[in-house]
């Protein structure tokens, strides 16, 4: 494998296309500053007091484990320790659940004053918290209490896979049989965009000794699962799917419809691109990235901001997060080798951040794409 994990070299796709390093660096820092300290129509980060802060979902006016863990990953990649620690302290203070059925997990949504909106967790938050904490440990060193980053990360992962054992209440976040991450602990289906084999490879190195083999198996299981979840012709996947990869149709759950290529699903191809960048473990990732870019750039062309069934059927309704589609299509170029890899990156470079109420999700994926395509989404 010739990925960055083995070579230590991260592709700078922007530089490959002729953009200057000075311009790339300036754009990256400006983007971070806009998201964290921009105007009220731009920012998603809000400091609280002397030592805390939160990331707000500006479309729903709450703080979510998704966004809080994303914020921590942004900060550790950008070497912003103060903001990282502020977000982590807010998370542990208000979102962590010390008791009850979901003790040891984090409440997926809180009001911006810290009041919990729900006592249920979402596994994508936990896996990002753990990875960001490990990176913080390796980049800045472990501190004391909640800032003993590596200890906190290992505890999160332990809960994720052992909860419910030995007569303990609750459910694990990964299915113990097939090693696939669940959509929520109390269900038997998954979300393709939650699958991060490139994270699990690292968990297999850094988790508690007795859990390392589980994470190695989880990495392999998720890579195999993604081959089933992504449509072989379009590269599209559903927001939620069964463990066999088929779209999950609403079966009277309160979640609404999620069997189509919509908001959550956009992250999947970006994750595949980053996994290929770090590990180059499977050439299928290049093939599916090419197919997805071909679908957007050639098949649907000027209807590239719609909702789709995974076979490419267009639902005549606009996507809620069109900037996220542009960003993740560009991130696919970390794996793609076809005709449209350059086009997707150039289009992303020429696309500004989103402003307004719905900016949070689009701009999180925008920033991660910029980190990855500039060679700055690194393993620490």
Q: Go through the chain and tell me how many residues it has.
A: 380
**Residue with structure tokens 């996947």?**
237
Is 264 one of the catalytic residues? yes
Distance CA(248)–CA(196), nearest Å, equals 19
Catalytic residue, chosen from 57, 83, 127, 264, is 264
Tell me the C-alpha distance between 181 and 206, whole Å: 19
Buried b (16+ CB within 10 A) or exposed e, 295-322: bbbeeeeeebebbbbbeeeeeeeebebb
Instruction: Report the phi/psi class of residue 205: left, alpha or beta, with left for phi > 0 and alpha for psi in -120 to 50.
Output: alpha
* Identified catalytic residue from 66, 127, 175, 275: 66
CA 270 – CA 108 distance, rounded (Å): 22
Q: How far is CA 340 from CA 269, 291, 307, in A?
A: 15, 10, 21
Known catalytic residues are: 66, 264
């Amino acid at each position: 494998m010739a990925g960055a994990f083995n070579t230590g070299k991260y592709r700078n796709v922007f530089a490959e296309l002729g953009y200057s390093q000075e311009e790339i660096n300036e754009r990256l820092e400006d983007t971070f500053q806009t998201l964290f300290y921009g105007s009220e129509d731009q920012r998603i980060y809000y400091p609280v007091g002397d030592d805390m802060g939160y990331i707000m979902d500006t479309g729903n006016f709450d703080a979510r484990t998704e966004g809080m863990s994303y914020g921590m990953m942004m900060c550790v990649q950008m070497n912003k320790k103060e903001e990282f620690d502020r977000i982590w302290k807010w998370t542990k203070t208000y979102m962590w659940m010390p008791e009850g059925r979901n003790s040891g997990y984090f409440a997926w949504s809180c009001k911006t004053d810290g009041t919990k909106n729900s006592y249920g967790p979402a596994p994508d938050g936990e896996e990002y918290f753990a990875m960001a904490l490990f990176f913080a440990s390796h980049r800045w060193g472990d501190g004391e209490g909640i800032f003993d980053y590596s200890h906190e990360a290992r505890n999160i992962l332990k809960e994720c896979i052992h909860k419910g054992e030995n007569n303990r209440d609750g459910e694990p976040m990964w299915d113990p049989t097939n090693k696939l991450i669940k959509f929520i602990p109390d269900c038997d289906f998954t979300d393709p965009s939650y699958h991060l084999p490139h994270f699990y490879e690292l968990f297999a190195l850094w988790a508690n000794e007795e859990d390392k083999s589980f994470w190695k198996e989880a990495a392999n299981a998720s890579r195999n699962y993604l081959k089933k979840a992504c449509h072989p012709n379009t590269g599209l996947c559903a927001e939620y799917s069964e463990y066999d990869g088929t779209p999950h149709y609403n079966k009277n759950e309160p979640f609404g419809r999620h069997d189509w290529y919509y908001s959550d699903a956009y992250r999947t191809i970006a994750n595949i691109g980053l996994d290929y960048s770090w590990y180059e473990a499977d050439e299928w990732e290049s093939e599916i990235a090419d197919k997805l870019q071909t679908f957007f750039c050639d098949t649907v062309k000027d209807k590239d901001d719609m909702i789709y069934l995974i076979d490419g059927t267009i639902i005549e309704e606009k996507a809620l997060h069109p900037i996220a589609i542009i960003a993740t299509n560009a991130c696919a170029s970390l794996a793609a080798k076809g005709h449209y890899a350059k086009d997707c990156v150039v289009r992303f470079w020429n696309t500004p951040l989103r402003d307004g109420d719905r900016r949070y999700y689009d701009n999180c994926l925008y920033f991660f794409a910029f980190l990855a395509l500039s060679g700055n989404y690194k393993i620490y």
